[in-house]
A = this chain, B = another copy of it.
Amino acid sequence: MPEANSSDNRRGGVLALAGGVGGAKLAVGLARVLPPDALTVVVNTGDDEIFYGLHVSPDIDTVTYSLAGLANPETGWGFAGDTFNALGTLKNLGADTWFGLGDHDLALHLRRTDMLRSGKTLSDVTLDLSRRMGVRHPVVPMSDQPVRTIIESDDGEMSFQEYFVHRRSEPEVIGLRFDGADSASPSPVFKSALESPNAIVFCPSNPFLSVDPIMALPGVREMIAVSDIPRVAVSPIIGGRAVKGPAARIFQTFAQKPPSALAVAEHYEGIATHFVMDNKDESSRVAVEALGYEVLVTETLMTTDAHKIALAIEVCGMAGVPI
């Protein structure tokens, strides 16, 4: 007789796709209303970069720190109360220090890099380290193979960190590539979560830079597009502006249209079935519905944990996910 398994009679829970700070906030809300076996957070790794020989995974870290309650509440990324003593010395010793690695943060990158070097996959390492930080829900890199988002700009090609952190999003984005995506695979947990989720949630992350790298992995876009489950996209654009990061600017320069909830909805057309947009964008509701979406207009700015939980409850309700 097979062992009893509480999940035999249910699908694989909510599959949330996330990138940086906005995505991490909704992930926190979802994790507060769903048990660990009913939520898988798959995170963009296209922005990963090597600093001083260390493997830095900014989006994984933002999601992990957020879920662990360790994130810097002022920035949404980095380790709360981190110090920057090593960085000061690195600068004195002639290193480039435009990427602000804190001391606690450095320790995480050291440990990750050391574990990867020992032959573990990024999935294994991410699960182990997030568990040690107290995270109970699975945080999963989109792939265990390297995928690198390359910004093609009016000032040449560069990595996302180079563009966003070092160059402060100043170059004009004229193209985007996800190097390595063609030959990478979705990570094993992502692949299995893709097979039978209750719902998919596109967190309010940058559609071009946080979600598209995930969608660029072989088979992912197709599997999501043909699935028969609710797929909820939450707009990261509120009132024509991005809460954080370069999304608005990239709509303008790369997608060549004004940043708006409607533009986000157009971006997810054929992929998502449900669309969540802010009260500020109420006037676009009809236009978004005309694209075929079931639409929810609500408060989407998550400045407190209460906001994160409220939005997560609304997203789950819309997708018919029991909480």
Chain A interface residues (CB < 8 Å from chain B):
52-54, 79, 82-83, 85-90, 92-95, 103-104, 106-108, 110-111, 113-114, 117, 128-129, 132-133
Given A83-B103, A103-B83, A52-B90 contact (CB < 8 Å): no
The answer to whether B85 and A104 have CB atoms under 8 Å apart is: yes
Nearest residue (CB) in B for A97 is B107
A268 CA to B227 CA in the complex, in Å? 80
Given A94-B132, A132-B92, residue A52 in contact with residue B85 (CB < 8 A): no
Residue of B nearest to A112 (CB): B93
Neighbour of A129 across the interface among B93, B107, B128, CB < 8 A: B93
Determine the distance from Cα of A54 to Cα of B132 in the docked complex, in whole angstroms: 23
Contact (Cβ within 8 A) B111 A90: yes
Is the CB–CB distance between B86 and A54 below 8 Å?
A: no
Q: How many copies of the chain does the oligomer comprise? A: 2
Asked if residues B53 and A93 are in contact (CB atoms below 8 Å), the reply is: no
The CA of A103 and the CA of B52, in the complex, are separated in Å by 15
Let me know if A95 and B111 touch, CB within 8 A.
yes
Q: A85 with B83: in contact, given A107-B93, A110-B53 (CB under 8 Å)?
A: yes
Residues of the B chain whose Cβ atoms lie less than 8 Å from the Cβ of A86: 86, 103-104, 106-107, 110
Give the top 3 A-B pairs by smallest Cβ distance, nearest first: A89-B107, A86-B107, A85-B103
18 contacting pairs across A/B (C-beta < 8 A):
A52-B113, A52-B114, A53-B53, A53-B117, A54-B110, A79-B89, A83-B83, A83-B85, A83-B103, A86-B86, A87-B107, A92-B133, A94-B111, A94-B132, A95-B110, A95-B111, A103-B106, A106-B106
Please name all residues of chain B whose beta carbon is closer than 8 Å to the beta carbon of A92 when the two chains form the complex: 132-133
Using A86-B86, A92-B132 as known contacts, list a sample of 13 further A-B pairs with CB atoms less than 8 Å apart, ordered by residue number in A: A52-B113, A54-B110, A79-B89, A83-B85, A85-B104, A85-B107, A86-B107, A88-B104, A92-B133, A93-B129, A94-B128, A103-B103, A103-B106
Q: In the complex, what distance in Å separates the CA atom of A253 from the CA atom of B107?
A: 39
Instruction: Looking at the assembled complex, report how far the CB atom of A292 sits from the nearest CB atom of chain B, in whole angstroms.
Output: 46
The distance in angstroms between the C-alpha atoms of A113 and B111, with both chains bound, is 15
Residues of B within 8 A of A88 (CB): 104, 107
What separation, in Å, do the CA atoms of A284 and B52 have in the docked complex?
A: 52
On whether the beta carbons of A89 and B104 are closer than 8 Å, the reply is yes
Q: Are B53 and A114 in contact (CB under 8 A)?
A: yes
Query: How far, in whole Å, are A114 and B110 apart by their CA atoms in the complex?
Result: 13
A240-B8 Cα distance, complex, nearest whole Å: 74
A89 with B114, Cβ < 8 A, contacts A83-B103, A103-B83 known: no
Q: Are B111 and A93 in contact (CB under 8 A)?
A: yes
